[in-house]
Amino acid sequence: MRERILGVAVSAGLAVAAFPAAASAGTPATPATPATAGGWTPVTYGSLDQPAGTDCSFELKIDFPTQGVEQRISATYPDGSPLRTDFRGPLIARYTNGATGASVDEDLSGVGTLYNLPDGSSLWNIPDNFGVSIKPGDPYHAQGEYVLSGGEVIAITPKHQVAVLYQTKVTDVCAALT
């Protein structure tokens, strides 16, 4: 059954550019090479090391053993800045508990669309998979590392607060590794 969350604002750091991801998961993705056919460019995600207490109660390491994500800017503002960016491709995230060595692989593959709004906020429409990190002190959601799958709509404010407007399935990565 699909679950709906409206107006939940959470302060999060997106681990992988918030796309078939994502969004799990630190730093935004960047194009690796110049545009290819159809405007698609490869995206490379780097490893992340979250100290204990940042996402989970333990040190969380995130690697991406399978990568094949591509992005393309499909619409721009008059000044040329991106309005809509599409993402597609395979992405597997390996989450590892730094204290125990336990790990779990999560499939963040799929497609997604990022809309950059004029006020500096963004809106993600992801019919597939997405990863998100919720940082300590968030007044709306427990901190943690989460994988959302099966469809999500996520809004991010200019201050990096995240509102999960729609979700289907949630996996608590920290709980899976304890």
Domain residue limits, the chain: 8-176
Q: Which of 38-42, 56-60, 86-90, 136-140 has the lowest mean pLDDT?
A: 136-140
Average pLDDT, stretch 31-41?
62
pLDDT digits (tens, 9 = 90+) for 68-119: 999 999 999 999 999 999 999 999 999 999 999 999 999 999 999 999 999 9
Of the candidates 133, 178, 168, 165, the residue with the CA atom closest to the CA atom of residue 148: 168
Residues in contact with 171: Cβ distance below 8 Å, sequence separation at least 6, in sequence order: 106, 146, 147, 148, 149
pLDDT digits (tens, 9 = 90+) for 55-64: 999 999 999 9
pTM of the model: 0.77
List Cα–Cα distances, 67 to 48, 120, 122, 151, 175, in angstroms: 15, 28, 24, 20, 25
Residue 139 has a pLDDT of: 62
Model confidence at 3, pLDDT cuts 50, 70, 90, reads very low
Of the candidates 11, 8, 7, 9, the residue with the CA atom closest to the CA atom of residue 137: 11
Residue 41 has a pLDDT of: 97
